[in-house]
Structure 1
Amino acid sequence: MWLADHLRSRCYLCQWYAIATDSSTNFPTNIATHPSATTQTLSHSSVSPISLSPSSSTQKSLLCAQCQQQVTWLPPLFTIDINPAFTLSVQSATYYDYPIRQAISAFKHHEDMTKLPVLVHALRQLPKPTGCHEQNSFIVPMPTTTARLQRRGFDPVTILTHYLSQHWQIPIWRGVARVDDTLSQQGLSRAERLANLEDAFTLISPPPKAHLLLFDDVATTGASLKSLANTLHTADQRLHLSAYALAHGNQVT
């Protein structure tokens, strides 16, 4: 990622145009000649449950202006009912649509690290939560099981959480473990996802008295976030919880 931030000059998505100088630039609306307009192929535990990523360097855009404009950033918040008295708000960086969907799949299921800069760029679209800082907040990454980690060889959410922590300058808290006998959520219906995740998480250290920012890579139905939030809320109803994801749902066209 250091090379991506400092040396690379071409867009990490289309591999064609020069990257934008600032991801907040007002980009042109005409992208008809852009290559992506004609193709949709994208060439557990630590000693301490708390860690803080090193200070972030200058974070330039990693996409060109045309690709930046092609993606819909920061969809409206959606909510998950945890219990009758508690609703969890979830903010995603973008929709789970092309081209982010393909980048996530390549990174998550095929260990394609060339897609990591695209996903880090997406994470950098998430604004730092208002009032949250390293003294009063912690990011809680969605835990994985030991068996899944051994099978896959790496944990995509842990890697992405590192870059989110770096972006927000908020530490990570790893005080929750996932029970090994749950199934993968992929391919399950909403009802099956909810049933599969009952009692899926357990605390391995008391939650800090702080604002806990739950993070998952993809929030399809929100079942995993709901179960994680319920575990934390049950442990301490005074906790302030909110959730974030790299991608969620599909954009209605």
Structure 2
Amino acid sequence: MPPLCGRCIRQPPPFSASQAPLQYTFPIDALITRYKHRADLTVERALAPLLAETPLPWADTDAVCPLPVHWRRRWRRGFDQGDHLARLMGQYWQRPVLPALVRQRATASQQGLSRRQRQRNLRQAFHCQHPVAGLRLILVDDVMTTGSSARAAAQCLLDHGAEDVRVWTLARTLPPPLA
């Protein structure tokens, strides 16, 4: 098991594990931005060989659950990258996709917000619309920066009876190196 960061030791997240095959640094950050904000599916096609080779990280998983964007953001973008990635990974991992969560409140973009602002921004943002009691879920999203979205979504799923929630993201921002 990899070591925990200081924040996770002080405030353990509600999810039990997380994994990301890529670091959110150049050029991956530029590709994900194109994918996310311009619905550029050529990025997904370029990453498909890597994603197809990504093994199911937790064999006891019952379903894959996308971390959703609010319907207005989806409408503006024409795309929900979390939903798209969850469906793709569900297919590769041969697990059903359960769109259990909806973002019930339109939140400000998380980009540029501090950790505390992100947490405040996400209060009461998610609602569980499907039964999840007893299920072991993989919550899928594009990027994990501070983990605030994953924490809020995982807590919602656990509050509705999910047995376990783990998080898989395409990329992860790594903490700055210690000085």
TM-score between the two structures when normalised by the length of structure 1: 0.61
More helix by share: 2
Flag the structure with larger Rg.
1
Question: 1:244 is matched by which residue type in structure 2?
Answer: W
1:94 aligns with 2:22: yes
Distance between the aligned counterparts of 1:107 and 1:168, measured in 2? 22
Distance of 2:116 and 2:156 partners within structure 1: 19
Give the distance between the partners of 2:9 and 2:155, measured in 1 at CA.
10
Provide closer, same or farther for how the CA distance between residues 85 and 178 of structure 1 changes in structure 2, counting only shifts above 3 A. Answer: closer
> In structure 2, which of residues 151, 164, 168 is the aligned counterpart of residue 240 of structure 1?
164
Alpha-carbon deviation of 1:167? 1.0
The aligned counterpart of 1:163 is: 88
- 2:65 pairs with 1:137: no
SS for the counterpart of 2:17 is: strand
Residues 148-159 of structure 1: pairs in structure 2 closer than 5 A: 148-159=73-84
SS in 2 for 1:173: coil
- d(CA) in 2 for partners of 1:82, 1:176: 27
Q: Distance in 2 between matches of 1:77 and 1:244?
A: 17
Change (3 A) 1:98 1:84: closer
Which structure has more relative contact order (CA 8 Å, sep 6+)? It is: 2
Amino acid in structure 1 at the alignment position of 2:102: A
Q: 2:46 aligns with which of 118, 135, 142?
A: 118
Q: What is the number of equivalent residue pairs in this alignment?
A: 174
Aligned to 2:57, the other structure's residue is in SS state coil
Measured after TM superposition, the shift of residue 173 of structure 1 is 0.4
Following TM superposition, by how much is the alpha carbon of 1:157 offset from its aligned partner in structure 2, in angstroms?
Answer: 1.7
Alpha-carbon shift at residue 129 of structure 1 (Å): 2.7
3-state SS of the aligned residue for 1:157?
helix
CA contact (8 A) 2:15 2:166 kept: no
Residue type at the aligned position of 2:80: D
- Residue 233 of structure 1, CA deviation: 1.4
Counterpart residue number, 1:55: none
Give unpaired runs (5+ residues) of structure 2.
Answer: none
* 1:124 Cα deviation from its structure 2 partner: 3.3
Offset at residue 108 of structure 1 (A): 1.2
Identity value in percent: 32
Helix, strand or coil at the partner of 2:166:
strand
The alpha-carbon deviation at position 84 of structure 1 amounts to: 6.2
| Equivalent pair of 1:82/1:88 in contact (CA under 8 Å) | no
Alignment counterpart, residue 199 of structure 1, candidates 105, 112, 124? 124
Moved over 4 A (4+): 76-87
Asked whether the equivalents of residues 115 and 146 of structure 2 are also in contact (C-alpha less than 8 Å), the reply is yes
TM-score in terms of structure 2 length: 0.85
Q: Aligned-pair distance for 1:214?
A: 0.7
CA deviation string 1:121-180 (max 9, x = no partner): 343353213433xxx610010011111111111112222222111110111001211023
User: Where do residues 39-50 of structure 1 align in structure 2 (5 Å cutoff)?
Assistant: none
Mapped partners of 1:116, 1:154: distance in 2: 13
Is the CA contact 1:146–1:180 (under 8 Å) kept in the aligned structure 2?
Answer: no
Structure 1: gaps spanning 5 or more residues: 1-75
Whether the aligned pair in 2 keeps the contact of 1:103 and 1:118 (CA below 8 Å) is no
